[in-house]
Structure 1
Amino acid sequence: MSVANATDPYMPDGSYAWFRLAISILLSTLGGAGMWAVVIVMPAVQVDFGIDRAGAALPYTLTMIGFGLGNYLLGRFVDRYGIVPPVIASALFLSAGFALAALSTDIWSFSLAQGVLIGLGTSATFGPLVADVSHWFVKRRGLAVACAACGNYLAGVVWPSLIQWNLATNDWRETYLLIAVICLLSMIPLALFLRRPPPETAFSTTPETTPFGQVSTGLSPQALQTLLVIAAIGCCVAMSMPQVHIVAYCVDLGYGVAPGADMIAIMTAAGVVSRLVSGVLADKIGGVRTLLIGSVLQCAALFLFIPFNGLASLYLISLIFGLSQGGIVPSYAVIVREYLPAREAGQRVGLVIMATILGMALGGWLSGWIYDLTGSYNAAFLNGIAWNVLNMAIIVSILVKGRKRLQPVA
């Protein structure tokens, strides 16, 4: 490597890459408003439109569907045109979506604004941004991907507090209009900082100088992608059980709503720590091993929920669960960049992220259905464990195949 290249700030892992990562985290935190706002205003929307709780939950479901599909569709767009157009479109979609939702006259128009505009707008600030960040790092790619994915969790810290503060003096419609303005005025200028295309070395077919960059699974890209999608669904069906139902579980146990909400906050905060630690670990041992560690720990945490249901125990297990599962989703992005074509990173990362979201949606419903059948969450936890074992089996098979085909470094 020449001295010029060694000091070039625009090379992978250079100073510009870290600046770009900071902008990406900020954009992800801003765009994450789409996932959290509808949850916070749900009670007010229910009263405003005079509907039941199931009807009030419909906008969230549609938002998640739009979010999942958008990760894949906009990921394909990123591969062709870069990250800036999707992020600008995200700002426009979010602004229009929040404005139209604020002006809606019934739950159907509100749900449509949430599912189509807000769901798609939010998606551009998760999977596509993570894929773009991955092109700018080699030695610290795992950490960078994990940091970019943290924006989604940070949004869960920032936006609920801001929305609750504003709802103290304004109604939910005025709050939505405020979010529309914030997204429009902040996200477009930030997107312009990302105009520089990734370095050509990001798309080089030359193996990277990492211990895991020399590994091949022996599977075709399509077969490996399919296995990753199934694994992603499996781990997130398991992950959804505590995240979606912990509040209801606490109510059933007689502890009330507040402890369950606190446990969600603990899981989310611990998830940020987990993502950062997993990112560092992925840089040392690779994405597959990191994912397997997270999956095993998540499975162990799910087992703990069954025999221990005291209040103090649930707080501790929620912390353990958050520390185990937070790094799982970013590990998929690292695996995609290790094993699959770099020029298709956007669509391939987006497809796996979409699978994780669909897994969360399926798992949330499936756990409720099992509870209705059995009258207990124990069977629902066991169902999550079974899906988690499926995930582990797939990851172990990829890891074993990769070891068998380890190529000597020239």
Structure 2
Amino acid sequence: MGASMTDTLHDRHEKSPSASSTAFGDFLPPSVDSLDHEKQQAVSVGAPSDDWNPTWDDAHSWLVVVGCFIFSAVTAGWGLVWGVFQPFYQNGVLAGVPTPLLSFLGSVAGLCLTAFGGVFGKLADRYGYRPFLLAGSVIWMAGILGSAFSTKLWHFFLTQGVLQGISCAMVFPIVVAVPAQWFLKRRALAIGIVVAGSSLGGAVGTLLIRIMLTRVGQRKALVIYSCIDAVALAIALLLVKERRQPGTRRAPILWFDKSFLGDPVFWSLGACFLVTVFGYLTPIFFLPTYTKEKVPGISDFNAAFTLTVLNLAAAVGRTIIGFIADRFGPVNSLFLVTLLSGLSQMLVWTFVSTYGGIMGFAVLYGFNCGCFISLTPAVAARIYGPSRLAGLSGMLFMFNMPGNGAGAPVAGALLKATGHSWRTVACIMGSLQVLGAIFLLYARFKRESKIIAVI
């Protein structure tokens, strides 16, 4: 009986969510039915309700969420601040650098996250989370301090691009997976809060960086911000703890699952994420610049505030979408938010030219645009099941890479080639997101042919 109980608990641990079970850094909690099955399975074998069984949504569990939220806000949130840096650099230390190249600079960190997040997630599963959180924090500080003293383009590519991107790849996949070890009943809420941290961090960072760049300049602003980050990361390191049953062995790493390659449903998902990510970053990178052009005389702060509003709306949207997906299905939810995100670019952004109208677009786009990030592993788990989620998530990282690396630069090149025709840029980038929703339909109806169904 004792051996059976131990084996069962070990099996449950091996099937539990992990850091590598994330696509673009986000983790989907299992459905309510699967959670009930876990509890029934534990009872049926006489498993004790010990500290390992993740059914306690207690104060300590929420402290872990706070730590993960801080990590998410500091690291992943930084990528959403680039809309403030780009015009500042273009008018200052990097004057003369083409707009597409500057946009690519802002994409490097996200490119590194999608390229290496799956690798570091799997390594962290194998060797433990804390060493990677600590190393990621140190590299993060090196990147932000290095960018404070950067003067040439390649300096910024190294510091604000590669170093901070590697740091995000080490940290973000872990912190969005850790809460799944501490929660059962409120797992969706906990994960949603952590994911929303990146958007809230981008919103707060946008305001702080814009104010400090204007008042004290690049070097002092980034040094001050690095001090704030150092304190925040130290607190987060104290709060985030991995939860493992004592005596369990860590599973070996499965780097690549070839069985997906022959499945058209997999390529339907891949095509959806590929084109969706291509259109995703354009408003995030260019909305302050767009506002400055359309509203003459507006202050830098008010122009940057549009990006703050967009990120705040994204924080709300990412939190809410988990509950919607639980009720209506993650695939249905992904189709809806991807479609609305693209249509808001095509039908709203193309026609707004007042400050109030731009703010309205920021709210609408922000609420929908980032939800595909948190829904990616949800869809994968719903279509293929949780047992293969780690390998599939790592492969889906590859489809996000082109859009993260080239989406915003392509938009910048289009803007320049069309004589600053924002309508052309918005229509093309929005249509890519609509196309992504269309590509998803094959996977949706291949797995569930009924039009009205929870999937």
TM over 0.5: yes
Q: Aligned match of 2:446 in 396, 401, 404? A: 401
| Structure-to-structure mapping, 1:63-102, within 5 angstroms | 63-102=109-148
| Structure-to-structure mapping, 1:151-300, within 5 angstroms | 151-164=197-210, 166-167=212-213, 170-188=216-234, 190-198=236-244, 220-222=259-261, 223=263, 226-253=267-294, 255=296, 258=299, 260-300=303-343
Q: 1:93 and 1:351, CA in 2 relative to 1: closer, same or farther beyond 3 A?
A: farther
Residues 373-397 of structure 1 deviation map (CA, whole Å, 9 limit, x = unaligned): 4442333233223322331123222
Q: 1:110 and 1:380, CA in 2 relative to 1: closer, same or farther beyond 3 A?
A: closer
Query: Partner residue of 2:415?
Result: 371
Q: Which moved more, 1:48-57 or 1:127-136?
A: 48-57
Structure 1 residue 231 displacement after superposition: 1.6
Q: 1:158 and 1:353, CA in 2 relative to 1: closer, same or farther beyond 3 A?
A: farther
* Kept after mapping to 1: 8 A contact 2:350/2:423: no
Equivalent residue letter for 2:173: G
Q: Which moved more, 1:141-150 or 1:305-314?
A: 305-314
Q: 1:192 and 1:92, CA in 2 relative to 1: closer, same or farther beyond 3 A?
A: same
Distance 2:304 2:378 in 1: 31
* Kept after mapping to 1: 8 A contact 2:63/2:239: no
* Kept after mapping to 2: 8 A contact 1:134/1:141: yes
Q: Which moved more, 1:72-81 or 1:351-360?
A: 351-360
Q: Aligned match of 1:324 in 357, 362, 368? A: 368
* Kept after mapping to 2: 8 A contact 1:79/1:346: no
Query: Partner residue of 2:193?
Result: 147
Q: Which moved more, 1:357-366 or 1:8-17?
A: 8-17
* Kept after mapping to 2: 8 A contact 1:28/1:155: yes
Structure 1 residue 294 displacement after superposition: 0.8
Query: Partner residue of 1:314?
Result: 358
In structure 1, runs of 5+ residues without a counterpart are 204-218, 406-410
Distance 2:86 2:367 in 1: 28
Q: Aligned match of 1:30 in 74, 78, 82? A: 74
Equivalent residue letter for 1:392: A
Q: Aligned match of 1:302 in 336, 345, 350? A: 345
The two structures, once aligned, show a CA RMSD in angstroms of 3.8
Structure 1 residue 326 displacement after superposition: 3.4
Identity value in percent: 20
Equivalent residue letter for 2:205: W
Query: Partner residue of 1:208?
Result: none
Residues 232-269 of structure 1 deviation map (CA, whole Å, 9 limit, x = unaligned): 22222232333333334444545466565333222211
Distance 2:346 2:89 in 1: 37
Distance 1:306 1:191 in 2: 40
In structure 2, runs of 5+ residues without a counterpart are 1-41, 250-257, 451-455
Structure 1 residue 350 displacement after superposition: 5.6
Distance 2:367 2:288 in 1: 19
Q: What is the TM-score with the length of structure 1 in the denominator? A: 0.78
Establish whether residue 389 from structure 1 lines up as the match of residue 434 from structure 2. yes
Where 1:116 maps in the other structure, the secondary structure is: helix
Distance 1:325 1:38 in 2: 17
* Kept after mapping to 2: 8 A contact 1:142/1:334: no
Q: 1:403 and 1:363, CA in 2 relative to 1: closer, same or farther beyond 3 A?
A: same
Equivalent residue letter for 2:424: A
Where 2:243 maps in the other structure, the secondary structure is: coil
* Kept after mapping to 2: 8 A contact 1:141/1:334: no
Equivalent residue letter for 2:306: M
Equivalent residue letter for 2:54: M
Residues 268-313 of structure 1 deviation map (CA, whole Å, 9 limit, x = unaligned): 1111111111011122233212211211222332232266334143
Equivalent residue letter for 2:272: A
Distance 1:133 1:292 in 2: 26
Q: Aligned match of 1:122 in 168, 185, 189? A: 168
Q: Aligned match of 1:112 in 158, 163, 180? A: 158
Where 2:176 maps in the other structure, the secondary structure is: helix
Query: Partner residue of 2:16?
Result: none
Distance 2:323 2:245 in 1: 23
